[in-house]
Amino acid sequence: MDMRALLSVFALAALVSALPVRAEEGRISYELVEADAGDFAPGADRLQPGRAEPSYAESSYVESSYAEQAAFWQSAPASVPRGIASYGPFRVIDAAHAALVDATDSRSPEQFAALLRDFPDVSELEMIECPGTEDDLANLRLGRMIRARGIVTHVPAGGSVRSGAVELFLAGRLRYADPGSEFAVHAWLDDTGRTPRDYAPNAPENRRYLDYYQQMGMDAAQARAFYAMTNAIPFESARWFGAEEMARWVSLDRMPGWPKTRVTLSQR
């Protein structure tokens, strides 16, 4: 899959500068886009291409253990399910399970509401290939819908949750991340060229994320720490890590029957 190829920082920077961005009031324009992403919906977009072979000099993944790195990078991409019904980036696998297999956008909350209307017993969201979002505010609304419905989020081995999709993973009532799953985070850049550090800590541009993280179960200190970690990575780069590293920042749950050593539930 060509989304799995990590484009060079310079090529992506050139692409971003060439794309027109039309931001609505209160919205933020985000970092990396795909070479074949096509026309985006108006508003914010926050997408991260998939990874290729690791380059530890370019990624900030080096804090994770060598063993986790090996399992993480050797995992083959998870299979994208055909499903029994499609709603935008969502696939219905069966009466109880849906999957997220593409970027979200401004239509995604409505599409997810339609999915839940037609399949009211869906209780788990499999996060398979999740590059981010084309509308960040809609993405946060979608995350609140997931939490309000009490849906579980699960990233299988080979599943990829990047950029704005991380907020959706955090929305799960329970959050499962298999060994061999991957995550990518980085800072945002708005349409004026400003980053989170250019705004006061309590400015609306920053508060919307801190408030969201607390609504998803973090305390204030955890929310600040997680937000600071994501913002430490420049918008044109990314920090890649696996389930073990994610568990150091947010609480993860264990799938029934997992050995206790499968996921480390330590907090940083």
Q: Which residue has the higher pLDDT, 259 or 33?
A: 259
Q: Which residue has the higher pLDDT, 109 or 8?
A: 109
pLDDT in tens, 202-241: 999 999 999 999 999 999 999 999 999 999 998 889 999 9
Query: Which domains, ranges and CATH numbers included, belong to the chain?
Result: 2-246 (3.90.226)
**Averaged over 235-261, what is the pLDDT?**
82
Q: Do 169 and 153 form a contact (C-beta atoms < 8 A)?
A: yes
The answer, yes or no, to whether residue 251 has pLDDT greater than 60, is yes
Q: How far is CA 72 from CA 82, 83, 102, 182, 184, in A?
A: 25, 26, 21, 7, 12
Q: Do 47 and 130 form a contact (C-beta atoms < 8 A)?
A: no
The model's confidence at residue 10, banded by pLDDT at 50, 70 and 90, is very low
pLDDT in tens, 164-195: 999 999 999 999 999 999 999 998 877 788 88
pLDDT of res. 48? 62
pLDDT of res. 249? 93
pLDDT of res. 134? 87
Most confident stretch, 12-26, 47-61, 70-84: 70-84
Region of 180 please: left (phi>0), alpha (psi -120 to 50) or beta. Answer: left
pLDDT of res. 191? 72
The model's confidence at residue 64, banded by pLDDT at 50, 70 and 90, is very low
- The radius of gyration computed from the CA coordinates of the chain, to the nearest angstrom, equals 17
Q: Which residue has the higher pLDDT, 123 or 23?
A: 123
pLDDT of res. 47? 63
pLDDT in tens, 149-165: 999 999 999 999 999 99
